[in-house]
Amino acid sequence: MGDGVLKVLEKETRQRVEAVLAGERLTPETALGLIETVPLNVLGWLAVRAKERQSGQTVYYNRNFHIEPSNICLYHCRFCSYRKGAESPEAWDLSLEEIETQVRARQSSGATEVHIVGGVHPGHDLAYYERLIRSVKELMPQAAIKAFTAIELRYMIEKAGLSLQEGLIRLKAAGMEAIPGGGAEIFDPAVRQQLCPEKGTAEDWLELHREAHRLGIPSNATMLYGHIETWAQRIDHLDRLRRLQDETGGFNAFIPLKYRRRNNPLGERLSAEVGIVEDMRVMALSRLYLDNVPHLKAYWPMFGKTTAQLALAFGADDMDGTIDDTTRIYSMAGAEDRTPSMTTQEMETLIRETGYQPVERDTFYNPVKKGYL
């Protein structure tokens, strides 16, 4: 794809594409113009060029597993299929002993990351989460602990009567080395009011990640798309993330998360989920707009393996991890993979089939090993 394709585009569209090729930073206005006028194949081409400037022919994955201590949650987000009340027969609240049993079962797995998220449990405090982190770290000292969404963190820290800095310092001392990106949803306040009015504001989420970055704790960022938001609101979300990254440089990766409508109140209002074409447009625009975030993740438990593989042709350079059937967040909402697990061989095959080179990474994108296992 090149000059021949550009020549058949309308003048204004061609000018937008040429501006991207020239390295001009997207503004919200030009980003909206791209989405409204540029064909999908051209967006994908632009996104792949941007991806290859960041990571060449490499696509990353890691060996990880999740711990979800509880799905009991103080909040009632309307898009959430995971949250249950304490009285629900589908609720769980794992003891520390049960969590340690899960970790022991995976001590020889080669995992380099333990990912811990759950509900905002009203009965658990900061000391409980410190004990949890320490117990996991003691059992798997070689694995990095990436733990708790900004929403969980704010609750436990404020409940302890501490500043964000004080609470994060305590959790870092316990062994928390990175923060996942959940809880961002869509930053637009009108959308948040409809989807999650009890949850913290966009400014709350951004402030938590800003403070973590200042303390040397890297994090990821997410966006929940495909429900009631507009393209302009998606772009505003990306713009706020880019501005924070300009300030701190602390985001390792961005993960677009597709809304799934099964088993949640919002799904009763919506007739369908967005299709794969829109998924790929979101992926491509994310890569183009977030020019300062090094990695873009195709989170396969949410997309499904085949769609995640396709996302590598729209700017993604990370397939996430092996998971080992340890997360229920998306399976409860109707994702294709009800028992999400992949071997390293499967992961590498999916990547190689797209023409890219698989590289196993750790939480911080340092290569662990190369080549087929």
For 138-169, how does the pLDDT look when each residue is reduced to its tens digit (9 = 90+)? 999 999 999 999 999 999 999 999 999 999 99
Rounded Cα distance between 159 and 152, Å, is 11
Q: Where are the beta strands (DSSP E) in the chain?
A: 58-62, 64-67, 113-116, 144-147, 176-178, 219-225, 251-258, 295-296, 318-321, 357-361, 367-370
∠257-189-335 over CA atoms, to 5°?
20
Both tokens assigned to 338: 């009800």
Confidence at residue 372, expressed as pLDDT on a 0 to 100 scale: 37
What structural domains does the chain harbor?
60-364 (3.20.20.70)
Both tokens assigned to 347: 């992961």
Rounded Cα distance between 253 and 222, Å, is 9
Positions of the chain with pLDDT under 70: 1-8, 326-339, 370-373
Rounded Cα distance between 306 and 1, Å, is 24
Confidence at residue 10, expressed as pLDDT on a 0 to 100 scale: 80
Backbone φ and ψ of 144, nearest 5°: -75, 145
Both tokens assigned to 185: 């949803």
CB 61 within 8 Å of CB 346: no
**Residue burial 238-273, b: 16+ Cβ < 10 Å; e: rest:** bbbbbebbeebebbbbbbbbbbbbeebebbeeeeeb
Tell me the residue type at 194: Q
Confidence at residue 371, expressed as pLDDT on a 0 to 100 scale: 41
State pTM to two decimals: 0.94
Rounded Cα distance between 284 and 20, Å, is 12
Confidence at residue 226, expressed as pLDDT on a 0 to 100 scale: 97
Strands 113-116 and 367-370: unpaired
